[in-house]
């Protein structure tokens, strides 16, 4: 990959940072229900607390809570996680339903292949 000056990019990793309304509840969702591995976190960094989760394929998801409250997202504000089979989708869907997570209708083609329901945890802010 090259930048606009024709030089090779030297990125070695990526982190997606998102604010959360309830950090403890968000941790349960991403760690316990989705199975993402917590890789670290911080407390009271300039008034913010946060946690990091490893994302499949590399990179991290950072969730933070602090003085600034998260604003509403858009239909295109997504974290898309892929699984290997329809059976895996059914297993994960069962776990999410049992935990009270509701399916939502996809609003974009990116959000869900073939128009299948996407899953969200209402009120996590992420």
Mean of the per-residue pLDDT values for the chain?
83
- Residue 115 lies inside a defined structural domain of this protein: yes
Inform me whether the pLDDT recorded for 34 exceeds 90: yes
Cα–Cα distance for residue pair 33/104, rounded to 1 Å: 17
Total domains in the chain come to 1
H-helix segments, the chain: 23-27, 86-98
- The encoded tokens of residue 43 equal 């407390």
Structural domain including 63 reads 15-120
Cα–Cα distance for residue pair 124/85, rounded to 1 Å: 27
Inform me whether the pLDDT recorded for 108 exceeds 80: no
- Residue 7 lies inside a defined structural domain of this protein: no
For 23, 84, 95, 119, the CA distances from 52, given in Å and listed in that order, are 11, 24, 22, 21
Give the per-residue pLDDT at 77.
78
* Domain CATH number, residue 38: 3.10.180.10
What are the beta bridge partners of residue 19?
64
Short-list 61, 53, 48, 81, CA closest to 14? 61
- Residue 126 lies inside a defined structural domain of this protein: no
Inform me whether the pLDDT recorded for 67 exceeds 80: yes
**Which of the residue ranges 11-15, 78-82, 109-113 would you say has the lowest mean pLDDT?**
109-113
Inform me whether the pLDDT recorded for 23 exceeds 80: yes
Inform me whether the pLDDT recorded for 125 exceeds 70: no
């Amino acid at each position: 990959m090259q930048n606009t000056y024709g030089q090779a990019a030297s990125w070695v990793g990526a982190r997606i940072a998102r604010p959360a309304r309830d950090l403890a509840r968000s941790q349960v969702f991403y760690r316990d229900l989705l199975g993402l591995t917590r890789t670290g976190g911080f407390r009271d960094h300039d008034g913010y607390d946060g946690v990091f989760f490893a994302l499949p394929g590399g990179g991290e998801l950072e969730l933070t809570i602090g003085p600034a409250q998260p604003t509403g997202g858009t239909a295109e504000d997504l974290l898309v996680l892929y699984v290997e089979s329809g059976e895996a989708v059914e297993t994960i869907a069962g776990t999410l339903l049992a935990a009270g997570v509701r399916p939502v209708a996809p609003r974009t083609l990116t959000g869900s292949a073939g128009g299948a329901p996407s899953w969200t945890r209402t009120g996590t802010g992420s």
